[in-house]
Amino acid sequence: MAARYQLRKAANGQDYFNLTAENNKIVLTSEMYDSKAAAQQGIEAIRLNGPLPERYDRRRSVDGQDYFVLLAANGEIIGQSEMYRSSAALENGLQAVMRVAAAAEVFEVA
């Protein structure tokens, strides 16, 4: 299966998207947006920044799990990964985002 941005509407009416890798696993989740158009601009920001290794910040949650965030040029968070149990798994997820961000198709989920 091809990588894709799954554009969705949350229960609160806001829009967001998940980026899935070729194996259909979610590798990045966006923030919430007030409109579909704003979410689509977020996708474009991921396309632009996703391939750049310097845009990633590796972090550790309070319960000790690893995750990463993708930052825009201005330092704002534009996406966050899931929680990983190891730094090796985190690196695999990060590499997946770098690999698919620019070319993934957009798919709207009803």
Number of compact structural domains in the chain? 1
The runs of H, that is alpha helices, within 52-106 are 87-100
The contacts found for 43-46 with CB under 8 angstroms, 24 or more apart, are: 43/5, 43/7, 43/17, 43/106, 45/72, 45/78, 46/5, 46/19, 46/70, 46/78, 46/79, 46/101
Smallest Cα–Cα separation from 32: which of 3, 61, 12, 4?
A: 12
What is the band of 58 on the pLDDT scale with cuts at 50, 70, 90? very high
Which domain range does residue 88 map to? 4-108
What is the domain-level CATH number for residue 77? 2.30.29.80
| pLDDT tens digits, 65-75 | 999 999 999 99
Which pLDDT tens digit goes with each residue over 24-45? 999 999 999 999 999 999 999 9
The reported pTM is 0.93
**Residue at token pair 């695999």:** 92
